Amino acid sequence: YAVHCTPQAYTRSKAMDKGRLIGVLIGFLIAIPVYIRLLCRVFTVGFGVFKVKERKPPACLQDPQFGVHKYMKVNGIKIHYVEAGEENKPLMVFVHGFPEFWFTWRYQLNYFKKNYRVVALDNRGYNDSDKPAGIENYHIKNLIDDVKALVEGLGVNKFTLVGHDWGGAICWTFAALYPELLDNLIICNCPHTLSLRDQRQRGWEQKLKSWYVVFFQCPMLPELFAMSEDMQNLENMLTDSGLKSGSEEMEAYKYAFRKFETWKGGMNYYRCAASKKSVDFWQDKNIQEKIRLIKVRTLEIFGTGDKYLAVAGAKGSSAYVEDHTLELLEGVSHWVQQEAPDRVNMIMEQFLKIAK
């Protein structure tokens, strides 16, 4: 996924569709304070503001307690994943969000490996997985089919699926389209797709919290902003999860996001979501019928201190799920599985025991 820093790299061979064009224009307007801040920093410290420190992989990324690093060719791309536990145990698959990678599930991998075969993947576009060029390659159908193909490659036909943030959106959609493949669905800090839509329509709270989604429609600037001053914005975000500046874990994140193309891959999820192809997908009557009622037994865990998603969205998810359990963790941030791993693991374990 060689990066070409031109606007053309963000469009298809055809003209940019209307939804994307509107998003880009609004994104540029919203980003005016970002331009000003970056220009001030450039005048102060020069173009070194965009310099990212060279890093070697921290030891924690190879810690055997989290599992073994593996690769599989799925859906036309190479996916990297970490696997632990015995192969004859029930499978549990973890899907991360933005800006994350498999490491966000380290506490869950270590905890559940005793009773499950646990697998945490790097989504396409992230870390050691392939980063295909073209916004259309990050369509939601491709994302869920990556998970499906990975599980098929593992030789399993029924499993528990766990997702956080964008990974939660992938998992909600997977459960809608492939319910027969799931025993359980567990979602961390990501309301059901339609509940999130409801919140955006009903008031300003979720609209304001989602400002960055429009900003990400801009070409190049969001990536440069994310990488500026050695990824200080990434550090600021992850501080909410309990990670300390300069810690090995924080360095692991900065190592995983050290390249422009990784940021571009993650932001292409948001860009594709605003494309005509995505709009057409969600307007398909068959898809609408399936997403309107999730038939898989579902646990939703939500930290109420989330800066990006409103609590009301989590509460509203129950309207779209046949069997829905909601656990609110008061004051816990968006990064719930990292900030409160013991509580999250306990809630997950209790939910899974009831299923048995």
Task: Give the C-alpha separation, 131 to 26, whole Å.
Answer: 26
Average pLDDT of the segment spanning 69-95: 98
CB atoms within 10 A of CB 138: 24
Please determine, for residue 265, whether its predicted confidence score (pLDDT) is greater than 90. Answer: yes
Query: What's at 246, amino acid-wise?
Result: G
Measured from the Cβ of residue 180, the count of other Cβ atoms closer than 10 Å reads: 9
Task: Please give the pLDDT value at position 285.
Answer: 96
**What is the rounded radius of gyration, in angstroms, for the C-alpha atoms of the chain?**
19
Residue written as token pair 């801009």: 218
Query: Is a pLDDT exceeding 90 seen at residue 38?
Result: no
End-to-end Cα distance, the chain? 43
Digit-coded pLDDT (tens) for 162-206: 999 999 999 999 999 999 999 999 999 999 999 999 998 988 899
- Of 71-75, 128-132, 273-277, which gets the smallest average pLDDT? 273-277
Q: Pick the more confident residue, 6 or 73.
A: 73
Token pair belonging to 138:
């990050």
pLDDT interval class at 86 (50, 70, 90): very high
Residues 6+ positions from 92 with CB-CB distance below 8 Å:
112, 116, 117, 118, 119, 159, 160, 161, 162
Q: Is the pLDDT of residue 8 over 50?
A: no
Q: How far is CA 64 from CA 13, 111, 118, 177, in A?
A: 44, 13, 13, 34
- The model carries a pTM of 0.91
Share of the chain above pLDDT 70, in %: 94
Helix H or strand E encompassing 163: strand 159-164
Closest CA to 353 of 325, 333, 334: 325
Token pair in block for residue 263: 């940021």
Average pLDDT over residues 268-280: 94
Catalytic center residues: 165, 270, 334
